[in-house]
Structure 1
Amino acid sequence: MSDRLPEGTHIGYVHLQVRDLGRSLAFYRDLLGFREIGREGATVLLSATGALPPMWVLTARLGARPKPPRTTGLYHVAIRLPTRRDLAQVFQRLLAHGWPFQGFSDHGVSEALYLPDPDGNGLEIYRDRPRDQWPWREGRLAMVTQPLDVEDLLREAEAGPAQGLPPGTDIGHVHLHVADLEEAEAFYCGVLGLEVTQRDYPGARFFAAGGYHHHVGTNIWAGRGAPPPPPDAVGLLAFTLVVPDEAAWAGVRDRARAAGVLLRERPGVLWLRDPSMNPLRVTVEGRFSGEELEV
């Protein structure tokens, strides 16, 4: 059995702790266009399609405080749109509502908008270029950070207020603050079975399955040895890595057991934390169950 995760591996839902559920829904549901598909107590499930599985799980915690600077945890969640026109439509909608942006980048492999959610959680909204246009250097992927031509992007937008999100919208990747890049690589490659796609980006390392540019990004920009955020801070409660079949899932389970990092398991669900205490779940495609939302 290969210890590399197969093509078809992808990021599933992201579970965030938020301070005010109504404020978060006004952003994720009413402005971005995700659709509410379930609610229980202080937890709401959202998707782009209006059907399971979710893409976002939002759980409100009364009195949750901002994530302290110079801690590990979420850097950003990246929402991937199918086309450049789709990206332009969402960009136009956010501009019309006066939402603040933190940056605009052309990464060679993609075009990306950066912004905070209402709690300051980082978001990237992006579209991929076709794979045959991705830049390479000495046989390795070479993502870059160049200015994005936002005026050219906006010319792609259609007139009139577009609502909702297009079919094919998903979570393309998750980018995390970690305490140590070597430890991160040992976990995301050695335990999970992802492959390094770029290691020469300053202070960062990127991992993926199936030849994608990255499903997980890690960086030490919060400081080498940074501690995890406190449990009452807004931010990441977990992200999910979805594998295409039981064999791939069992491989992760066995490697996690051998490494002593498996917190608990149920059929089709593994609960793990990386060496920087970032929480994640590994699930099998098509096996979503509400029980896995337990923190």
Structure 2
Amino acid sequence: MPTHFHKKPNTYVSHVQIKVSNLERSIEYYKTIIGFDVLEQTNQTAVLTFDGATSILSLEEVENALPLAGGQTGLYHFAILLPTRKDLGNFLQHVAEKNIRIGAGDHHVSEALYLYDPDGNGIEVYIDRPEEEWIWYGDSTVHMVTEQLNVQSIMADGNGQWKGLPQGTVMGHIHLSVSDLEATEKFYTEALGFEVVTRYGAQALFISTGKYHHHIGLNTWNSGGGVKAPDNSVGLKSYTLVLDNAEQAEKIKSNLTAMGAKVEQFEGAPTFGGAQAFSTEDPSGIRIIFTLEGE
């Protein structure tokens, strides 16, 4: 699997924080089905881990939680990237044994499985195909499709040894439901420095740094002209981007201020971004935390 896309100097997603309606139910799901362990827990929150040290996902229970609703911006899915095809085969065997309903797609650059947590938060579990197999048109557009996945082939690569998320797992990307694709593209490319690498018509685009197939997906399929979900809705609370250095951080702060976005110092647990973190909201009201702490 290509590994350098989720390390500095690239800007990449390191952590996702989601809101749930019942913390214990969600912990059980993410442990039993997805393969996390609990690193830290309070009455309202749980920091999840796969290696006993780092976290790529955390949960927060909200009181009087509202369900996900159409016409709102936020999470489309977060995507957990496994190291090998054998790992994906083992995960597929595991969810089949648990009778979990899944979707699947072959995107040419990757092979992906899709499922939902108990609150309807979207999850992708995937592997990347070798980077040398990706097709680029010129130097700017990567070939991505959605075709039928060869589930039998992936299943055959497993060895029945699923023991939870393996070492080397990362948060591969996040896919967001946004209200205005043009304004969102301007924000992420001009303020944050991402490059557009694929467009799906006028309703979706995929952006990255360092020529990854995408660190962030953006679409208006169910959210065009939509509004930010209420604070007590289940769904996305925030996601974290790792920046390369302090100079880049200051440039992004300046870009955000010039664009009229509010920049806030982020005082949170180190797990969620580190001492040097700051945050903002994108044009759809999605909270982004920036940190220098990462690989």
Contact 1:37–1:46, Cα closer than 8 Å, also in 2: yes
Q: Deviations over 1:33-67 (max 9, x none)?
A: 11211123311101221103x21110011321211
| Aligned match of 1:236 | 236
For 2:261 and 2:174, locate their aligned partners in 1 and report how far apart those are by CA, in whole Å. Answer: 20
| Aligned match of 2:95 | 94
Contact 2:63–2:232, Cα closer than 8 Å, also in 1: no
Alignment partner of 2:78: what SS? strand
Which stretch of structure 1 is more off in the superposition, 175-184 or 30-39?
A: 30-39
The equivalent position to 1:34 in structure 2, one of 36, 39, 48, is 36
Task: Give the direction of change, closer, same or farther, for the CA distance of 1:64–1:223 in structure 2 (3 Å limit).
Answer: closer
Structure 2 alignment gaps of length 5 or more: 1-6, 267-274
Q: Does 1:67 align with 2:75?
A: no
Structure 1 position 223, deviation (Å)? 4.2
RMSD over aligned Cα atoms: 1.8
Structure 1 position 244, deviation (Å)? 2.5
Alignment partner of 1:240: what SS? strand
Structure 1 position 137, deviation (Å)? 3.5
| Aligned match of 1:113 | 113
Residue-pair matches, total: 280
| Aligned match of 1:141 | 142
Q: Deviations over 1:15-34 (max 9, x none)?
A: 00101111111111233211
| Aligned match of 2:53 | 51
Q: How does 1:116-195 map to 2 (within 5 A)?
A: 116-139=116-139, 140-159=141-160, 161-195=161-195
Q: Deviations over 1:198-249 (max 9, x none)?
A: 1245520111111111111100101421112122110000001111222222
Instruction: Return the TM-score normalized by structure 2.
Output: 0.90
Q: Does 1:245 align with 2:233?
A: no
Identity of aligned residues (%): 38
Structure 1 position 255, deviation (Å)? 1.2
Contact 2:71–2:225, Cα closer than 8 Å, also in 1: no
Contact 2:70–2:223, Cα closer than 8 Å, also in 1: no
For 1:21 and 1:156, locate their aligned partners in 2 and report how far apart those are by CA, in whole Å. Answer: 34
Alignment partner of 1:94: what SS? helix
Instruction: Return the TM-score normalized by structure 1.
Output: 0.90
For 1:66 and 1:100, locate their aligned partners in 2 and report how far apart those are by CA, in whole Å. Answer: 20
Q: Structure 2 counterpart of 1:270, which letter?
A: F
Structure 1 alignment gaps of length 5 or more: 288-295
Contact 2:184–2:282, Cα closer than 8 Å, also in 1: yes
Alignment partner of 1:46: what SS? strand
Structure 1 position 262, deviation (Å)? 2.7
Which stretch of structure 1 is more off in the superposition, 213-222 or 35-44?
A: 35-44
The equivalent position to 2:276 in structure 1, one of 263, 268, 277, is 268
